[in-house]
Amino acid sequence: MNLRDIHTPVMLDRCIELLAPALERDGAVFVDATLGMGGHSEAFLERFPGIHLVGLDRDLDALKIAGERLERFADRITLVHTVYDGIAAAVESAGFDAADGILFDLGVSSMQLDVADRGFAYSKDAPLDMRMDQTSGPMAAYVLATYSEGELRRIFERYGEEKLSGRYARAIIKARESAPIERSGQLVDILIAATPYAAQRTGHPAKRVFQALRIEVNGELTVLERAVPAALEILPVGGRIVVLSYQSLEDRLVKRALTAAAASTSPAGLPVELPEHAPRFRLLVRGAELASEAERERNPRATPVRLRAAERLRDAE
C-alpha cells in the first residue's frame, strides 16, 4: 500500500505556513492531535528538523501505519493511543509541559473511509462498525438496533442536519422488526427506499445519516467541545493552533472556542482595557479559510474544509 496514493494531506502548505513561527526553534513540540496515517506529521518533521512530534489517535490501525511511515524519525516522535480531548495528558506522558504548535484535522480519516470493513462509507457494503477505536464502545449496528424512533430522529437531525430524519427513523424501526440491520448495504437500501424520488436527485440519501451515526458512535462533538479548550491551555505565549473542520457542526464549535479565547473580558464602558482582561489569543485568519480551487480539484476531500487558527498572546492570570 502506497500511503501517498491514498492520503493527500489537506491544506498542508497553509498549515505549515501558519504553524511555522511556533516551530522553527530546536526543541519545539508539535502535536498532531489527529495523526491518521501521518501525512501532515511527515511533512512537519521534514520541514522542521528540530521539532518533537506527539502524535495522537484513537485508531490503533492508524497508529501502526503512521508509526511505519514515520519510522525514520523514531528519535523525534511519541505516538499516543488516545482520544484528542486527552491532549494535555498525552503531552505530559511524552515528557513535555506544553505544545508549541497543535494541529487538528477533524472528521473521518482517509484510511477509515477507504478500508471497506470499517463501515464508514455508504458506497461500500461492510459491517456497520464505525468506531474509530475498535477496542471500545458500541458499534453503529447497536445504535440502529436499540435506539428508539425518537432517539434516531434526534441524532439524524442534530448530527446530520437531515430534513428527512423522521421518515428515515420510522423506516429503520420498521425494517429492524424483520431482520437486524448489521451491514452498510442494508442501511443504504432502507434509506433509498424511504427517500422520495425528487430528494434522491439532490444527493445520496445515506450521506447525512452515515455522518450522524459516525458522530454518535464516536462522541465526536462532545469530545471536540472539550478538546479545543484543552489544547489552547497547553500553548505557551507564541504557541499556535490550526484546526481543519469538514462540516458545519464541527466548525461552529471551533469558531466558538477560538472566538471566546480571542475576546477581551474587560467590563463594558472602561476607557482603557485592563491588562488582565486583554485577549489571551489572536485569530490568525479572517473567518474560516477555504482550500484553493486548485487544491479542491486535485484533492476532492479538501472541498468542504474550513480552516481556523489562533496564536497565544499572553499567559492566563
- The CA-to-CA distance between both ends of the chain, in Å, stands at 50
Distance CA 62, CA 13 (A): 22
What's the pLDDT score for residue 199? 80
Mean pLDDT over the full length of the chain: 91
What's the pLDDT score for residue 201? 75
Q: Binding site residues, as ranges?
A: 38-40, 57, 84, 105, 112
CATH of region 3-105+221-312, choose from 3.40.50.150, 3.40.50.1980, 3.20.20.70, 3.40.50.300 = 3.40.50.150
Q: How confident is the model at residue 8 (pLDDT cuts 50, 70, 90)?
A: confident
CATH for 116-218 is 1.10.150.170
| Same fold for the pair 3-105+221-312 and 116-218 | no
Distance CA 265, CA 71 (A): 45
Q: pLDDT (tens digit, 9 = 90+) per residue, 180-221?
A: 999 999 999 999 999 998 887 778 889 999 999 999 999 999
How open is the CA angle 251-256-262, to the nearest 5 degrees?
120
Distance CA 212, CA 217 (A): 9
Q: For the chain, give every domain's residue range.
A: 3-105+221-312, 116-218
Q: Binding site residues for S-adenosyl-L-methionine, as ranges?
A: 38-40, 57, 84, 105, 112
Q: How confident is the model at residue 315 (pLDDT cuts 50, 70, 90)?
A: confident
What's the pLDDT score for residue 4? 46
Q: Which residues of 161-191 are buried (b: 16+ CB within 10 A; e: fewer)?
A: ebebbebbbebbeebbeeeebbebebbbebb
Distance CA 181, CA 199 (A): 23
Global pTM reads: 0.89
Distance CA 37, CA 52 (A): 17
Q: Is the pLDDT of residue 271 over 80?
A: no
Pairing of strands 306-312, 240-245: antiparallel
User: For residue 293, with 0-12 CB atoms within 10 Å meaning exposed, 13-18 middle and 19 or more buried, which class applies?
Assistant: exposed
Q: Is the pLDDT of residue 119 over 60?
A: yes
Q: Is the pLDDT of residue 267 over 70?
A: no
- Sheet holding 52-57: strands in order across? 77-81, 52-57, 29-32, 101-105, 240-245, 306-312, 281-283
Give me the phi and psi of 200, to 5 degrees please.
-65, -20
